[in-house]
Amino acid sequence: MDSAFHLGQVVKPWGRVGAVGFVSGERYYWFLKGNVVSMMPADVVEKGKTEMAPKVIKTGRQEQLVLHYMLLTRQLTKMSDALLHVIRGEDELGYRAFAQTELSDAIRQCEKLSSVLGVDFQETLQMGRDRDAEKEAEWRKMHPGGLWI
């Protein structure tokens, strides 16, 4: 397979070439940049036309969904750090408050995501409680006397 770039080569602004292959009859490059893997049509990359790159986020709504999702994952990541300190017993009260702050921010991002998706947050919250109750009932059938958490 002929390609203008070889494996491991850095191609600006895309990143390091991780693979070259065909998808639906078209040649593509897979790039590695940090922890991100992206896939670009070979003709776009070889012409150096960044403006020709396919746009994944095309509308304001899509941008809001991605933004609130990324902020949600950020809050959960921060909360995991606080919980680790609580588990270790280090300054439990301070880290519990930190975890609560991150949890409140994560809940708010879920509320914003619900709004962008056009679903009622309170209904979604109740749906989660109902689903959890159903899962608990099923689990208890399979594990009588077991501990449900």
The reply to whether the predicted model has a pTM over 0.75 is no
Establish if 33 belongs to a structural domain.
yes
Instruction: Assess whether 47 and 61 both reside in one domain.
Output: no
What DSSP letter does each residue of the chain carry, written as one string?
---SS-TT-EETTTEEEEEEEEETTEEEEEEEETTEEEEEEHHHHHHT-GGGSPPS--SHHHHHHHHHHHHHHHHHHHHHHHHHHHHHTSSHHHHHHHHHHHHHHHHHHHHHHHHHHT--HHHHHHHHHHHHHHHHHHHHHHSTTPPP-
Q: Same domain for 85 and 41?
A: no
pLDDT of residue 8: 78
User: Is 76 among the domain residues?
Assistant: yes
67 shares a domain with 30: no
Instruction: Note down the domain range covering 14.
Output: 10-52
Q: Residue-wise pLDDT tens for the chain (149 aa)?
A: 566 777 778 887 878 888 777 776 778 887 877 766 677 788 888 877 665 555 556 677 877 887 788 788 888 888 888 888 888 888 777 888 999 999 999 999 999 999 999 999 999 999 999 999 999 999 999 999 999 98
pLDDT for res 29: 80
